[in-house]
Chain A
Amino acid sequence: MSEPLVRLENVRFAYGERAILRGISLSIPRGKVVAIMGGSGCGKTTLLRLIGGQERAVGGRVTVDGQDVAGLGRDALYALRRRMGMLFQFGALFTDMSVFDNVAFPLREHTDLPAELINDLVMMKLHAVGLRGAAKLMPGELSGGMARRVALARTIALDPMLLMYDEPFTGLDPISLGVIGQLIRRLNDALGASSVIVTHDIQESLQIVDYIYFISEGRVVAEGTPDEIRNSADPFVSQFVHAQADGPVPFHYPAGDYATALVGGAG
């Protein structure tokens, strides 16, 4: 088995005083699609930022393609990012550019391709997400789900080796959800890339991913292949798979006693 594309070793991270990740170790093997799941606010987006080098770990090591991300200078980091694609949780489309220009942006910035070729590539990517007809619209004219699909097309524009998707399924209707899920899988296999999907959608993920990590309170609490997960007796896993509010994953952000808060005014 070759060295995994991404490897996190005992990574710790905090925003100020608040520890978010408390020693996470996981790896994303080459050619595989890995899902990362966990409650809202448990640090999944932060984890992707660490892999992309936008945040630096307080402790531990993040390596991508053998390079220690935190140790890279700006140029080396940018060179690495050119081979990564990240779908942002809220799309992050450039609001002053049309859908077409958004998808063309990475191609225009990083290649010297002639305009016709860029046009063809952009249309191919838009076609893949089913929005070829929306090429001329501005981001403000798109629905949330459409915007996310455009962002997806932009993410894959440069055919990266590592694809990171932050909640690719939220806001999608069941049909697009299935199509996008399959697209993520097919892209990964066609490009020979590796993918990380951060998601809450366990049913969809079970169908398309190769491996799943569950995160809670800054640690990996369960992991396994979809088959192992389906048959798992682990309380974390079954809480997720069966969508129960009660279980080891807390629904509430850490707070004082509820009754005290109601009676006493502030918590």
Chain B
Amino acid sequence: MADVFRKMGSMAINGIWQLGFIARFFWLILVYSGQSFTRIHLTLRELYFSGVMSLLIILVSGLFVGLVLGLQGYETLQRYGASDSLGTLVALSLVRELGPVVAGLLFASRAGSAVTAEIGLMKVTEQLKAMDMMAVSPIARVVAPRFWGGVISMPLLAALFSAMGVFGGWLIGVVVIGVDDGAFWAQMQDAVDFRYDVLNGVIKSGVFGVAVALIAVFEGYDCVPTAEGVSRAITRTVVSSALAILALDFVMTSFMFRG
């Protein structure tokens, strides 16, 4: 029994240490971010690798989520004779929740894991040490551009995900099932408020972007420099990002949307 408590205690202490390390690392990234913007091609390259390369999976998943929303939404709404509100339902679910959250989860597993692997392997092969020895800060040159690449691409990907989802919902609802086209769009326009719904959704995806990018670069930079260490770091990136996204989503939702 005492053992269980001891274990929990040491886990809690480790967790707090880890949070401290991450916070300090975050601060360092911000301090060394100058180069990411003065030498913008460094960041653009990462934007390409995490943003553009995630496009396909984001668009396809968005479409499927929209298709399912259209089907399920119609099935429920028509019981109350409210199938005209399908557009509202699809758009609100996507813009407020599903867009940022699902895009964030996909982004963590597609781009976050890649960033962790890349930085981790650079550590294993002593590239980071060599860079440091050449008087070039690895945080400024390697970490910060990848961080900003993730932070910038995440909200854009979430927006595309939502747009694709709305298109999927429209495809099922209007084209396949035959909900009235005008009502679909008109109800949506009426119900979706720019500040309350769209802006809050964008804020969410921005926060997820910071969280995922930070976790990904941190795990890579902090990994044990062996093949096994890198593989563990990648797993941790995906798991911690998912937990962080879901927990942050709950917190933000409870502040943003209290009816």
| Chain A residues at the B interface, C-beta cutoff of 8 Å | 52, 54, 78-79, 81-82, 84, 86, 88, 90, 92-96, 105-106, 109-110
Contact = CB atoms under 8 A, between A and B. Distances in A.
A54 B133 contact: yes
Interface of B: 118, 121-122, 125-127, 129-137, 141
A54 B131 CA distance: 11
Nearest to A84: B133
B233 to A, nearest CB: 17
Most A CB contacts (10 A, CB to CB) among B130, B131, B134, B136 go to B134
Contacts of A110: 135-136
A54 B126 CA distance: 12
A109 B122 CA distance: 18
A110 B134 CA distance: 9
Contacts of A106: 134, 136
Contacts of A88: 126, 129-130, 133
B136 A95 contact: no
Nearest to A52: B133
13 contacts: A78-B137, A79-B135, A81-B135, A82-B134, A88-B126, A88-B130, A88-B133, A92-B129, A93-B127, A94-B122, A94-B127, A94-B131, A106-B134
B127 A105 contact: no
Contacts of B126: 88, 90, 92
Contacts of A90: 125-126
Interface of B is mostly: helix
B213 to A, nearest CB: 19
Contacts of B129: 54, 88, 92
A78 B127 contact: no
A110 B129 CA distance: 17
Contacts of A109: 134-136, 141
A86 B135 contact: no
Contacts of B130: 86, 88, 92, 94
Given A92-B126, A92-B130, 7 more contacts: A78-B137, A81-B134, A84-B133, A88-B129, A92-B125, A95-B127, A109-B141
Contacts of A92: 125-127, 129-130
A82 B135 CA distance: 6
Contacts of B127: 92-95
A229 B16 CA distance: 56
A95 B131 CA distance: 12
7 residue pairs, one from A and one from B, having the closest CB atoms: A92-B130, A81-B135, A78-B135, A92-B126, A82-B135, A86-B133, A109-B136
A79 B121 CA distance: 27
A54, A90, A96 — most chain B CB neighbours (10 Å): A96
A105 B135 contact: no
Contacts of B132: 54
Contacts of B135: 78-79, 81-82, 109-110
A99 to B, nearest CB: 15
A89 to B, nearest CB: 8
A95 B123 CA distance: 12
Nearest to B133: A86
A54 B122 CA distance: 17
B125 A105 contact: no
A106 B131 CA distance: 9
A218 B125 CA distance: 26
